Structure 1
Amino acid sequence: MKRKLTAGAVLSATALLAGAIQVAAAPAQAAAPSPVQQREALIALAGGEAAPVARALALGGQEKLVVKDAVLDTNGDRHLRYERTLGGLPVLGGDLVVHQKANGTITSVDRAYEGRLALASLTPALSADKASAQALGAVRATVGIAPDADEAAISRVDGAGAAQLVVWAADGNPRLAYQTVVHGQRADGTPSSQRLVTDAATGALLSSHEEFQTATGSGKGVHVGSVTLTTTQSGSTYQLKDASRGNQWTGNAASGNALYTDADNVWGNGLASNTQSAAVDAQFGAAATWDYYKNTFGRSGIKNNGVGASSRVHYGNAYVNAFWNDSCFCMTYGDGTGNANPLTAIDVAGHEMTHGVTSATAGLVYSGESGGLNEATSDIFGTMVEWYANLPGDVPDYLIGEKINIFGNGKPLRYMDQPSKDGKSKDAWYSGVGNIDVHYSSGVANHFFYLLAEGSGAKTINGVSYNSPTSNGSTVTGIGRNKAAAIWYRALTTYFTSTTNYKAARTATLKAASDLYGGTNSTEYKAVAAAWSAVSVN
């Protein structure tokens, strides 16, 4: 499956935010602002503070901050997330999060890149056309060669977009670079959209990752069983569109992504042979993911802007995959082996759509240790969506992709209690873990999460047997999955940056536990520390 002032300046902005919210609510007859409106006001505040924050952080004269996200705590504390530019160029790996008290004082800053940016020149030695051609050639050179991951090789390259001049700082060595997107297709039918970063002086490849984050596997039919769906009536026809969840909808990829409609508002029959049955799975999975994030964290949609995602089923021919794509803000599902096994399991939906949440918040770079954390975040919340839905036909567990039967023997894709049981994932951190595929380095964080939630040792939960070891021989006592998820979400949205590694994730989750549960002496804080130590992150 498919990744961190001056009090006067801030105080005036605080008043602006309070005024923006309170003015709307003051008249007795006026409705209170919606969460989306409150977030828009907070984003506007963060945008207004960008320049004074940049000065307060002593950024260089050519550096500017561009607001990406903002979080407001119940006590008034603010966490303002910014991307950075240099001379008008985007800085990849230059993001930061500014943490402020309610009175406007700064408490800390989490930075993806700690230093001050200063390049000798912003004039590239190579032209944009040359950079685009080099990126295209780099991808063409990989045609027919399978990557290290369980992912199909590139089978076709369609072309490259225009190269964009950027500053690359994600590896701690800032330099002028180009970013180019090369489009094509993989051998299994998955669309390919590779984002490459190349040195603007030498053309050397600095980074490459696939935009389409996928869940490889084969399914065993329809998964959610009998469920209730929220639909939209248009005249005498019903549409598989949910106005109560940001108008998220499901379409048929085999018919040009046409929106599903029905005459009697009774959808599917539970069999893969009925074209609507997979659509029921997809629509319900999107709704369950929306509801989990909304009811658990107050998040209104993947981007927290009240806009629902779309889903499309019956993609390709016997396509054994599913993927999330930020560019279309959509989930796509194949029908699996023989077009008889749609990959519409609920943890697949939660996993893939969580890639969208990560993109909208921390933006974890999809390589190295940050890539492992990106994948683990999707595993964690895909699992939590499954627990939230609590379906009789898909009993919640800590197994990843168990319903899609990828190996044809009933075994899941991944195990959170002991990741190494899949033969490739890692139970604990070691110095080279960032060099392996992100789907396997994610095991460190998956194991941490299971230990934090349930603890170590042998136990049976919901009829499933687990036996979670620790790398240091310790015994870990869990604090429950809901607290563990709250800590991870807080860390993701408030403290993680694009380059967060496992060491920084430990620090961030400890901060989150302290924020949520009463400081460094709390049981939860101590459990976080113990769980990280149990996977060798010290």
Structure 2
Amino acid sequence: MKRKLAAVAVLSATALLTGVVQGVAAQADPAPQARGAQQHADLIAQANGQAAKVAHALSLGGQEQLVAKDVVVDADGTRHLRYERTFAGLPVLGGDLVVHQKADGSTTAVDKAVGAKLALPSLTPEIAADQAAAQATGAVQSTVGIAADEDEAPLTEVRQTGTAALVVWAADGNPRLAYRTTVEGLRADGTPSSQLLVTDAATGQVLSTHEQVQTASGSGKGVFVGTVPLTTTQSGTSYQLKDAGRGGQATYNLKNKTSGSGTLFANSTNVFGNGLVSNQESAAVDAQYGAAATWDFYKNTFGRNGIKNDGVGAVSRVHYGTNYVNAFWSDSCFCMTYGDGASNTHPLTALDVAGHEMSHGVTSATAGLNYSGESGGLNEATSDIFGTMVEWYANLAADKPDYLIGEQININGDGKPLRYMDQPSKDGRSADYWSSSVGGLDVHYSSGVANHFFYLLAEGSGAKTINGVSYNSPTYNGSTLAGIGRDKAAKIWYRALTTYFTSTTNYAAARTGTLKAAADLYGATSAEYAAVAATWSAVNVK
């Protein structure tokens, strides 16, 4: 499972859900979001304006150019410029870097995804684009009927989309000319598949495969969020599940289809759902609240203006497919999609599902952690961490916050959570501690190391009861940890993600990045800095 949600701030007008929803329509002023989006756009433009100067300072080759992706500005004016790289106009996969500057513009440090110099002997591929596309499609076709892991349904249908585009593959430290091809299909459980393959332009060898539709398997029961406030939009005599105050976030009814945008939920009473699965609006209430809570968590905790920090809200789609026991986030549609579960009676609209999945969008917009190996585990853990934090932020009576992942969707049918942050191995598959084999695990299980780190950093080791839930977190080295609190732990992780992590960050680099983040936030001699170092050692990351 991958993503989650948090608390909702009630704006100037809201629809209040009370068994049956009551309230008034929102006529929120979008100006603050627009101003924030313009400021972010201006920072990106400024970063692009100095891209050539930065490239020269980094001694990049004449065929290399930098393109700004994101900018973080600290209160003291320190800037962190995140760039993607091109070589002879081709995207460089693994070429991303972050330049850290003082307020006066002088560079203090640079974090690169890969340090290798780019020097390609030729920009002429030995394999034609159509052949590369066919080879990529064939590679995916060969996996039909085979599940990549226990939690992923096998492919049943494959079709090539688009064409193979030339790129430079540098993520493994051995730069070479390659093709990037997207191959779409459908899995046996109804989940859409959109696999991004990178193949060697000389041999056709598959260098990387990345499933862009990131799913969460599970089953839920009824409406999860209970009675909550919603912000709606009035259009004539109709009230819509559309939130102008949060970037236009809206919820649509797919009516059991597996494609299309669906129909925007609207009615004449501004009362949505009644808490029962039989009422199609009830799942929509969960989804709309989940999107709003996730927005509010990032906005009020980190000052982030939407998933991409551009003031644009995500779309939520409910009632996807038939008997679809899953939910997923997709960057391509910038949308969150929920199935109705077994017998179409167990919607997957739990709060932690939304917060987890939508946090994948935040990771994509910032560090872009590759979804494989150790970086993939960090990607998954990031969603578990912020999904959990959204749950604590929301603090709903109907979904008491905890450090359990997917506890309400009952994915295994035995009432147990999907994952445990205090001792990840309790799920039977996740890793508590780092080892040289962690990178070979499925990313949902290699995430255990970072999940365990976060719990220990926030709450400390040993047996304890938190918010009515019992935990007992061990350490690799037998150390006793006190914890610094979840809010500080989350701020450190977020700063590391947005400021220091790159696409290839592994656990060793995550330790370095979070220590830098702790030093930035609390000082290099602070108790928080020492706690980060001790906690990584406690999960065997040194």
Give the TM-score of the pair, scaled to structure 1. Answer: 0.94
Deviations 1:267-299 (A, max 9, x none): 000011100000000000000000000000000
User: Structure 1 residue 147 and structure 2 residue 148: aligned?
Assistant: yes
Measured in 2, the distance between the counterparts of 1:446 and 1:472 equals: 17
Cα pair 2:79 2:103 within 8 Å, conserved: yes
Q: Does 2:293 match 1:288? A: yes
Q: 1:161 Cα shift?
A: 2.2
**Residue 71 of structure 1: SS of its match in structure 2?**
strand
Any idea what SS the aligned residue of 2:413 has? coil
Name the counterpart of 2:128. 127
SS at match of 1:148: coil
Amino acid at match of 1:122: L
Q: Which amino acid aligns with 2:236?
A: G
Please tell me the residue identity of whatever aligns with 1:203: G
Structure 1 partner of 2:468: 463
Matched residue, 2:213: 212
Match of 1:366 among 362, 371, 374: 371
SS in 1 for 2:163: coil
How far the C-alpha of 1:209 sits from its partner, in A, is 1.3
- Looking at structure 1, the residues matched to 161 and 354 of structure 2 have their Cα atoms a distance apart, in angstroms, of 30
Identity of aligned residues (%): 75
Matched residues in 1 for 2:32 and 2:273: separation? 40
> Is the alpha carbon distance of 1:325 and 1:104 closer, same or farther for their aligned partners in structure 2, counting shifts above 3 Å?
same
Indicate the residue corresponding to 1:446 in structure 2.
Answer: 451
- Give the structure 1 partner of residue 360 of structure 2: 355
CA deviation digits over 1:383-406, x for unaligned, max 9?
A: 000100111010000000001000
Match of 1:497 in 2: 502
Counterpart residue number, 2:78:
77
- Counterpart Cα distance in 1 of 2:332 and 2:94: 20
Equivalent residue, structure 1, for 2:65 = 64
Q: What amino acid does structure 2 have at the position aligned with 1:298?
A: G
> What is the CA-CA distance between 1:31 and the residue it aligns to?
10
**Where in structure 2 are the equivalents of 1:29-40 lying within 5 Å?**
34-40=35-41
Q: Does 1:423 align with 2:434?
A: no
Is 1:533 the counterpart of 2:541? The answer is no
Query: For 1:297-312, what aligned pairs fall within 5 Å after superposition?
Result: 297-312=302-317
Whether the aligned pair in 1 keeps the contact of 2:137 and 2:159 (CA below 8 Å) is no
Tell me the CA shift for residue 220 of structure 1: 1.2
Cα distance in 2 for partners of 1:288, 1:400 equals: 17
Per-residue Cα deviation, 1:339-397 (whole angstroms, up to 9, x for no partner): 00000011110000000000000000000100000000000000000100111010000
Partner of 1:192: 193
SS class of match (2:287): helix
Residue among 372, 380, 383 paired with 1:375: 380
Offset, 1:432: 1.4
Q: Judging changes above 3 Å, is the alpha-carbon distance between structure 1 residues 490 and 241 closer, same or farther for their aligned structure 2 residues?
A: same
Residue number among 324, 333, 339 corresponding to 1:328 in the alignment = 333
Partner of 1:55, secondary structure, is helix
- Of structures 1 and 2, the one with the larger relative CO (CA 8 A, separation 6+) is 2
C-alpha separation between the residues in 2 aligned to 1:454 and 1:119?
Answer: 49
1:475 corresponds to 2:498: no
Moved over 6 A (4+): 30-33
Deviation at 1:159, TM superposition (A): 2.3
Is residue 133–residue 160 contact of structure 1 (8 Å, CA) maintained in 2? no
CA contact (8 A) 2:306 2:313 kept: yes
Distance 2:450 2:33 in 1: 39
Structure 2 residue identity aligned to 1:444: V
Q: Secondary structure at the match of 2:276?
A: coil
| 1:37 Cα offset (Å) | 2.3
Q: Secondary structure at 1:34's aligned position in 2?
A: helix
Contact 1:135–1:160 (CA under 8 A) maintained in structure 2: no
Report what 1:524 is aligned to: 528
Residue 2 of structure 2 aligns with an amino acid whose one-letter code is K
Partners of 1:31 and 1:349 lie apart in 2 by: 25
Q: Cα distance 1:479–1:512, how it changes in 2: closer, same or farther (>3 A)?
A: same
Other-structure match for 1:161: 162
Letter in 1 for 2:454: F
Deviation at 1:158, TM superposition (A): 2.3
Distance 1:35 1:487 in 2: 23
Q: 1:32 to 1:253 in 2, by over 3 A?
A: closer
Q: State the SS of the aligned residue for 2:252.
A: strand
C-alpha contact 2:164 2:181 (8 A) present in aligned 1:
yes
CA drift at 1:42: 1.0
- In 2, the alpha carbon distance for the partners of 1:426 and 1:186 equals 27
* 1:160 Cα offset (Å): 3.4
CA distance in 1, matches of 2:45, 2:65: 16
The 8 Å contact of residues 136 and 160 in structure 1, kept in 2 or not, is answered as: no
CA distance in 2, matches of 1:126, 1:159: 17
Q: Contact (CA 8 Å) 1:131, 1:200: kept in 2 or not?
A: yes
CA contact (8 A) 1:420 1:427 kept: yes
Residue type of the alignment partner of 2:378:
L
What's the TM-score once normalised by structure 2's chain length?
A: 0.93
Task: Report the Cα distance in structure 2 between the residues aligned to 1:171 and 1:348, rounded to whole angstroms.
Answer: 32
Q: SS in structure 1 opposite 2:525?
A: coil
Equivalent residue letter for 1:499: T
Shift in Å, 1:38: 2.0
Residues in 2 aligned to 1:304 and 1:33: alpha-carbon distance in whole angstroms: 11
Q: Which of the residues 276, 284, 296 maps onto 1:279? A: 284
Q: 1:337 aligns with which of 339, 342, 350?
A: 342
Residue 428 (structure 1) shift:
0.4
Question: What secondary structure does 2:50 align onto?
Answer: helix
5+ residue gaps, structure 2, are 4-30
Shift of residue 33 of structure 1?
A: 8.9
For the 8 Å contact 2:33–2:305, the answer to whether it is kept is: no
1:163 match: secondary structure: strand
Where 1:162 maps in the other structure, the secondary structure is strand
Work out whether residues 125 and 200 of structure 1, in 8 Å CA contact, stay in contact via their aligned partners in 2: yes
Partner SS, residue 217 of structure 2: coil
Counterpart for residue 264 of structure 2:
259
Amino acid at match of 1:344: T
Match of 1:211, as an amino acid? Q
- Quick one: structure 1 residues 377 and 32, their matched pair in 2 at CA, closer, same or farther if it must change by over 3 Å? closer
Code of the aligned partner of 1:323:
F
